[in-house]
Amino acid sequence: MSGNSASDNIRPYDVVILGSGYAGLIAALRLGRPKWGLRIALINGTDQFIERVRLQESIVAPVPARIPSISGFLAGTTIEFIRGKVTSLDADLRRIRITTDIEERELAFDQAVYALGSNIDMDVVPGAAEHAYRLEPGEGPRSAAALRQRLQQKTTRPLSVLAVGGGPTAIEAAGEIRSTWPDCEMTMVSERCGAFREERVEKAVRAELVRLGVKLIDNENVSEVRATGVITKTGRSIDCDVCVWSGGMRSSPIARSAGLATDPKGRIWVGPNLRSISHTHILAVGDAAHPIAPTGAPYRPSSLAAGASGAYVARAILAQRAKQALDPFSFSTLAQAVAIGRFGVLFLLDHDDKQIGFILTGRAARQLRDFLLWVIIYGFKLERRFPGSFYLPGRGRVSWGEANEAIEKAEVAQAAQAA
């Protein structure tokens, strides 16, 4: 990875953390306690912490950052924050190349935490990248900010807006748009809108969408996006002025380019300790990880799983340095909420991610959801002040016997596929 444009002095670190989302930031805070004496570098493309679970709000107006500056938030700690874009990773030589506003730099590391998350997959369907908007931060031509500008433009007739996808991202985008621009014709198209595992939750979500006036088109998968609409796999043409794409997620290509073992979506295959199965000095967290062993609750993209995995890898790194044993990664879920404009749906979950008890809907659900998101940010601030205070239930739910059995099954399946 050496080159004339890189710095001649490659600074070494004990741990380099790639990405400062929910998982990366909590890992850095947990590792950055002065008593550990670790050289920590936290790398992120921007100096602002992005609350991805609030991105749909930026369709309506810019969302004030509750952690406006990562560098300011980390001031006074032993963590070195580097604002830059990770351009390449050499997993074997343990080198990372980044590009900052003024230079290219190369960093050496003993261990790395890969927390680059995931983004909406725009390459899965022709025309999506060129013609569809998506919930992504920044000021890009197809970002949430650009969508806001498009919806605010004066027109001679109400706009027709189509949200592609049936999951939480599409639901929250459709709800926010319809609530703010009630004259627009808002439609969702997917295999099944609001397709949650529990039927009661699905019914509640669909009822809130219908109450807002969102039209639901089920049993359709979009195969092409055009400037004036979409074409489905059944050949159906659906016209729209604005298309919002939420059709699946994909992780950064950096891990695969570095030769790490990854799944088809670019997530790093990790063992029970969240270490890469191909390069054990690299740990993956949040949306960038795909555990091959049980994790207690099912491992799905969420701020809860991200925070739990970030806290765990810090413990794993410290335990290895102290030559101490550590239980496999596991966590339990508590609740899930979906914002639908001014309304919402919130439901409790048992430790295995199954809905239990009552389902809260309407304005109260949205308000409670917003409060829970504030609690997450408060948890980061509490961890910053009192390291080690961030705690999520569910430790010890997976034994090494269960984990090793899952690893053996994965190895057998891999061998059969390769044969």
Tokens of 186: 């808002």
Whole-number pLDDT of residue 419: 65
Nearest CA to 169 among 54, 251, 266, 83?
Answer: 54
User: In this structure, how many other beta carbons lie within 10 angstroms of the beta carbon of residue 140?
Assistant: 12
Whole-number pLDDT of residue 11: 87
On whether the pTM is more than 0.85, the answer is: yes
- What order do you get walking across the sheet with 242-245 strand by strand? 215-217, 185-189, 160-164, 242-245
Catalogue all structural domains in the chain, each as residue range(s) with its CATH number.
Answer: 11-119+250-330 (3.50.50.60), 122-247 (3.50.50.60)
Whole-number pLDDT of residue 3: 41
Burial of 35 (0-12, 13-18, 19+ CB in 10 A): exposed
Handedness of CA 90, 96, 99, 103 (dihedral sign): negative
> How many whole angstroms separate alpha carbon 204 and alpha carbon 268?
34
Q: Quick one: how far is CA 171 from the chain centroid?
A: 16
> How many whole angstroms separate alpha carbon 89 and alpha carbon 403?
28
Encode the chain in three state secondary structure.
CCCCCECCCCEEEEEEEECCCHHHHHHHHHHCCHHHCCCEEEEECCCCCCCHHHHHHHHCCCCCCCCCCHHHHHCCCCEEEEECEEEEEECCCCEEEEECCCCEEEEEEEEEEECCCEEECCCCCCCHHHHCECCCCCCCCCCHHHHHHHHHCCCCCCCEEEEECCCHHHHHHHHHHHHHCCCCEEEEECCCCCCCCCHHHHHHHHHHHHHHCCEEECCCCEEEEECCEEEECCCCEEECCEEEECCCEEECCHHHHCCCCECCCCCEEECCCCEECCCCCEEECHHHEEECCCCECCCCCCHHHHHHHHHHHHHHHHHHHCCCCCCCCCECCCEEEEEECCEEEEEEECCCCCEEEEEEEHHHHHHHHHHHHHHHHHHHHHHHHCCCCCCCCCCCCCCHHHHHHHHHHHHHHHHHHHC
> How many whole angstroms separate alpha carbon 257 and alpha carbon 262?
10
Whole-number pLDDT of residue 1: 41
The pLDDT averaged over each successive group of 10 residues in the chain (419 residues) is: 49 96 95 92 95 93 93 93 95 95 92 94 91 92 95 92 94 96 96 87 95 96 96 96 90 94 95 96 96 93 91 95 94 92 94 92 96 92 84 84 89 74
